[in-house]
Amino acid sequence: MKILTVIGARPQFVKAGMVSRAILKSNSKTRHVLEERICHTGQHYDTNMSDVFFDEMNIPKPHYKLGIGGGGHGEMTGRQLEKIERILLDDKPDGVLVYGDTNSTLAGALAASKLHIPVFHVEAGLRSFNRNMPEEINRVLTDHVSEILFSPTLLAKKHLIREGICENRIKVVGDVMYDAAKFYASKARKPEWFDELSVEVNDFVLCTIHRAENTDDIERLRSIFRGLQRCGKPIILPLHPRTKGLIENLNLEMSNIHIVDPVGYLEMLWLEVNCNLVATDSGGVQKEAFFQGKPCITMRGETEWVELVDAGVNILVGADENEIVNAISSDRWNSIQGDFYGNGNTAEKIVNIILASLIGVTQ
Ligand code: UD1
Ligand code: UDP
C-alpha cells in the first residue's frame, strides 16, 4: 500500500517526522508494508525553515518538491492543488496524509478528495471559531473532506461531531508533537550564539511571532513589541521571516529583545527547556511550553488549545501592551501538569489506524 504525505510548513515537518519514523518501524515488524512518499509543497523554503528539520529529524527526503511558496492564499493553494493533482494521477497512492491547517494541508486534502483518494487528517477537529484566520478555513474544509480524522483531544472530537462528522471516522489519538518532545528530550542542543547574549539560563522569555492577525496589522505588531520591551525581561525571539521583513522599518525600541534567526527543532527545544516563560502566537509552541513545564502567554484573542487556558498555565493576552507586561510579570501560575495530549505513542496509533483502514480491517 502506498501513501502520499503532503507537507510544506515548519510545524508539519515536526509532526510528519514522527509519523514517518513510526511507518518505518511498522514496516520492519508487520507483513503489511506502507510505502510512504513525501510531497513537499515548498510553502516554507528557507534552509532554517525547512531543510534543518529534515536533517535534524532524519525525515525521509521528499519524492516531490513543488517549490510553491509565497504569494496570496488563493494563488499558493491553487498552484499547489494543480501540481498535487498531477502527482496523484501519476502515482496513484491509496491514501493521502495531511497535517494541521496550512494552505498545503488544504491543497493536499482537496486534490485527493476530488480524485476519491481517502484523506487522513492529523490534528483534526481543532477550532478557534474565528473565521478570519486562514487556518480556521483550512482546517474546517480539510476535516470535511477527510476519510479518517485523527483528533488530539476529546474536545476536538466533540467539535467534529457537532459539525455532523460521523463518529466512527474520528479517532482520538493524542498529539504527535508530544511524541516529538519526548523522543528528542535528550537531544536538545544549546544554540551556539546563546553564550554571547549575556542572558542567564532560566531567566529569559522565549518568544515567537508570526500569525497573520498580528503581522498583517502594524498597530498590533507595535503594541506587542511595546509590551515585550516594557516588561524589561530579557527576551529571545527567533523571528519568523514573515515578521522580520515587517518590523525592519518600524523603529521599535528593543534594548531587551534579542532577535535571532529561526532555529532548528533541537535548538528550539533547548530554549524551551531553559527559558522561564514562553510568549507566542504559535499553536505548536503553546503546547511545547506545557510539555516543558513552562507558563505561556499567548498573543492572540483565542486559542485552539483551550485545555491549557482552563488549566491556568496559558493566558490569552491578545496584542494588548499592558496585558503582555502584566502577564509576563505575573508570578501567579498554576502548577503545570495535566494529561491532555496522550502518552507519546500517537504516531504509532496513527500508522496502525491507517494500515487497518487501507487493508479494510475495522479498528
Ligand atoms: C504558515 C501557516 C500557519 C503556520 C505557519 C507556521 C498558512 C495560511 N499559514 O504561516 O498556519 O502557523 O506557516 O510557521 O498556511 N517566508 C520566507 N521563507 C520561508 C517561509 C516564509 O521568507 O521559508 C516568508 C515569505 O515572505 C512568505 C511569508 O513568510 O510569503 C509567509 O509565509 P506563509 O507560508 O504564507 O505563511 P506563514 O506565516 O509562514
Ligand atoms: N520552531 C522551531 N524553530 C523556531 C520556531 C519554531 O523549530 O525558530 C518549531 C517549534 O518548536 C514547533 C514548531 O516549529 O515544533 C511550531 O511551528 P510554528 O510556530 O511555525 O507554527 P504553528 O505551530 O503556529 O502552526
191: cell is: 544554540
Q: What is the pLDDT of residue 31?
A: 84
pTM metric for this prediction: 0.98
Instruction: Decide whether any atom of ligand 1 lies within 6 Å of the 355 Cβ.
Output: no
Q: Is 116 a catalytic residue?
A: no
- Ligand 1: distance of its center to the CA of 30 in Å? 38
Cβ contact 260:193 at 8 Å: yes
Q: Which of 44, 210, 240, 258 is catalytic?
A: 210
Task: Collapse the DSSP code of 106 into the 3-class scheme (helix H, G, I; strand E, B; otherwise coil) and give the result.
Answer: helix
Kindly report the protein residue whose alpha carbon is nearest to atom 2 of ligand 1: 102
First vs last Cα of the chain: how many Å apart?
A: 18
Give the integer Cα–Cα distance in Å for 54 and 182: 18
- Ligand 2: distance of its center to the CA of 332 in Å? 27
- The minimum-distance atom of ligand 1 relative to the CA of 282 is 12
Task: Collapse the DSSP code of 297 into the 3-class scheme (helix H, G, I; strand E, B; otherwise coil) and give the result.
Answer: strand
Q: What is the pLDDT of residue 362?
A: 58
Instruction: Decide whether any atom of ligand 1 lies within 6 Å of the 261 Cβ.
Output: no
Instruction: Decide whether any atom of ligand 2 lies within 6 Å of the 11 Cβ.
Output: yes
Residue 133 CA: which ligand is closest? 1
Q: Which of 6, 221, 240, 244 gets mutated to test ligand 1 (max ligand atoms within 8 A of its CB)?
A: 240
Instruction: Decide whether any atom of ligand 2 lies within 6 Å of the 191 Cβ.
Output: no
Q: Which of 242, 243, 268 gets mutated to test ligand 1 (max ligand atoms within 8 A of its CB)?
A: 242
Find residue 275's DSSP bridge partners. none
Instruction: Decide whether any atom of ligand 1 lies within 6 Å of the 242 Cβ.
Output: yes
DSSP 8-state class, residue 45 = -
Q: Could you report the per-residue pLDDT of 18-45, keeping only the tens digit for each?
A: 999 999 999 999 888 999 999 999 999 9
Q: Which stretches of the chain score pLDDT less than 50? A: none
Cβ contact 150:129 at 8 Å: no
Cα dist from 88 to 85, 124, 201, whole Å = 5, 22, 48
Q: What is the pLDDT of residue 335?
A: 86
What would the DSSP string read from start to end of 222-274?
A: HHHHHHHHHT-S-EEEE--HHHHHHHTTS----TTEEEE----HHHHHHHHHH
Instruction: Decide whether any atom of ligand 2 lies within 6 Å of the 283 Cβ.
Output: yes
One-letter amino acid of 156: A
Give the integer Cα–Cα distance in Å for 355 and 363: 10
Hey, what domains does the chain have and what are their CATH numbers?
Answer: 2-175+342-359 (3.40.50.2000), 189-329 (3.40.50.2000)
- The minimum-distance atom of ligand 2 relative to the CA of 240 is 8
- Ligand 2: distance of its center to the CA of 328 in Å? 21
Q: What is the pLDDT of residue 363?
A: 57
Cα dist from 46 to 43, 147, 192, whole Å = 10, 33, 20
Cβ contact 215:242 at 8 Å: yes
Q: Which residue has the cell 495535566?
A: 338
Instruction: Decide whether any atom of ligand 2 lies within 6 Å of the 124 Cβ.
Output: no
Cβ contact 298:315 at 8 Å: yes
